[in-house]
Structure 1
Amino acid sequence: MRKFMLILPLTIFCIICSLSFQYYYFIHPLNSSKVKNTISYLSSDNFKGRLTGTLENYETAAFIKHYFKLENLSSYNKDYFQSFNVIYPEKIDAAPYLIVKDKNGFIVKQYKYAADYKEDMLNFKNSSVSFKKDDVISLSKNSFQVQTSNQYFLFYTPKNDNLDFRSSFISNSRGSMYIMIKEQTAKEIKNYLNLGCEISCFIPFHNKLTSAYNVIGYIKGKNPALPPLVLSAHFDHLGSDLSDTVYSGALDNASGTSFLLGLIKYINSIGKPERNIVIAAFNAEEFGCLGSKNFAQQYKDTLRGGKVINFDMLGSDKNVPLSIMAGKWDSKNSPFVKEIAQLCTNSKVNFKYTFENSSDHQYFRAYNIDALTLSDADTSKIHTPMDKSQYINTKSIDRCFNVVSKEIDSYAFNNNPFILYSKYLLAISFCGILIMVNLYLHQFYK
């Protein structure tokens, strides 16, 4: 009887040891070095800044689709690509200019592109403007607004006189074109206007309607009727300027996209989840979150009751806190925000709260779907040519994985202890086996 009482716990320990070993051995945690390699690839000059509407943006979508297929993701609603229409800024094959003409029409000054002036990306309803003093309707120290034929053009000096920053493109913005000018350029133009000169500016971009694509796949769960977990990131960025300077967008947001792709390997190594896990690579975030807007609008009924975790800018300096970014009307007490904050606290992760509709969680929250964005909110190089992969910090990527993996395990795998504690269960069960074997042998030879 005593021997049987020893065999039963020995058998239990053996089963636990076997299961925990399988999970421990076969689960592949996110490899942040491989994530950084993918960031380097997507933010390379080959993709020319991944501007929505360009060939390079489509090539990025095709790369993601191919990755989804390799990792055996099912296509979402018959196709990996979700198409939607966007207006985007297309380059015109011509040279830019900002010139000053005197009263007789002679050019008295020609400014140098990227040194004296440069386009901002906000809009190109009109690519050219010519104006005199009477056309200026608003004038301040280093900026002025021009109105011609019911169109508005803004010339302004950016912060620190730096022409490198590039705004997102917003097709419905009020102005027809936005031009950054150096402080000295602004002073000279105002003087020329007072002398009766005419200013002419041409930027070879124009607005064009085209199709863009989200890339959507999913991992089928045991019970597809349950509300899904959506993991997402946007892959578009701001393209290149007229001197072919590439806005690489390594942190914003090749990082989030690469992190998302890395998560697929982790999830697949665990096994089949309890619910569907949707993997969504969104496009046109830099145009006002248009890709996620289209997805949320089309699938809101399927997504209600689910959770959305979006990744935008991961991998800045580890001293920058992880930002839990939720909707404008959320708070620290919003249930999903509170849940993720508790995971950060439990993992001893330095974090902060941000409540803004400034990433792809925005439209999910508009439909009352639990959604937030995890971000290393370091804007020091964002939307500039300095946003390069060389500045990506893998420790910050590991930090985010430490948090989000626990939420995935909890929500999609029902807190499976063999996922959460495989290493500890393996050690405990192995020690239990040794103790039981020792006791059994002691009874056998007694």
Structure 2
Amino acid sequence: MLNISDKNPVTFDGSRYKTIKELSNRPHYKILRRLIIGICIVLVLVLFLPWTQNIQGSGAVTTLKPDQRPQTIHTAIAGRIEKWYVKEGDFVNKGDTILFISEIKEEYFDPNLVENTGDQVDAKKMALESYGGKVSALDVQIGSLQKEQKLKLEQASNKIKQAHLKVKSDSMDLEAVRTQLRIAETQFNRAVNLNREGLKPLTEVEEKRLKLQESEAKILTQENKFLAAKNDLINAEVEINRIIAEYSEKVSKANSDKYTALSTKYDTEAQVTKLQNQYVNYSIRNGLYYIKAPQSGYINKAMLGGLGETIKEGTPVVSIMPAGYDIAVESYVEPIDLPLIHKGAKVRVWFDGWPTVVFSGWPGISYGTFGGRVVAIENFISPNGKYRILIAPDKAEEAWPKQLSIGAGAQTMALLDVVPVWYETWRVLNGFPPNYYQPAADAAKEKAKK
């Protein structure tokens, strides 16, 4: 190997040169070196400063309660625009008339429709009272028939008892006549025998024959009376059945008339109820011709214009903004940040058009932001792929500007845990989510539950 260099290398001495000597003695190089060293020290110290983790979102100004938000007033019935009572920008009180419409359906053209329906209701009520009176009269008639039937049956029962007694009396009389006949026969036979023996005269025999014939005649008469008494008993028993059948038919007919009247009464009651319903509907419909303000507020925009225009049911007429409302902000956060949000969490809010200087990690030195607290969290994802949260003003901090209008843009920043700057830098570089943060009060409740 060739040795073409000296064993002792030659050193460069810059002090011999004037230019190099002047450059090395300039003071600003020393200042720059010290400045760089100082900046490095400051950057290292900054890495250990506290940094407030946060979740940022965007949204708009809204109201806290649903009934305080802008609403559109619709028509409940179809009609024709006849007169406007307001214009855009007017302030209206609750119940003030906004618009008057007229009827377009032929079944409601009659101007006396409500009064005529009321007369029909009164007439049906009178008919209902008449049927009620008829039912009461039939109830009285049925009661009278039942009482009369009872009396008739008692009378027939008495006749049966009398017939029984008459049969018994006639049977006893028949037995007495039969006994007399046997006695008369015995006396006649004895008189004949004695006459044959010459002990009795013929005249006495004739007398006994006459008495025998009289007894035979009496027994026929008495048997006839006995049979007549038995026939009267049968007639009395048949009379009871006739009375029962007759009054059963009368009571059944009265009941039939009663149930017919009741059926007509109930049908009339249904008609009265239907007419009353129509009467109320017509009365309410007359009030719907005037479209009124549901609450006090300002008329934002008239959806319709002109006169004589025909509108359908449910057509939007005007948009109204309530006069009194509690302001709030609806903000949208990423799904990955939703588990870190909880009700009552502190949020910093700043509004479009409002002078603002924001330091996300040091909210205390930000300018133009306002304090708020989360009051509601939507558990269903919105169409924009984010979750909606509702933020109300924090009463413990500065009040929100009165100049804010509903719908104005807003930016939000939910405050989480406090960590060093170096940790937050490391987290962001690795794409990790913020620390799961739980307020002290919620942590104490969770610990007490366990």
| TM-score category, normalised to shorter length | under 0.3
- Return the index of the structure with the highest Cα Rg: 2
TM value normalised by structure 2: 0.23
Bigger RCO of structures 1 and 2 (CA < 8 A, at least 6 apart): 2
Whose strand proportion is higher, 1 or 2? 1
Structure number having the greater helix percentage: 2
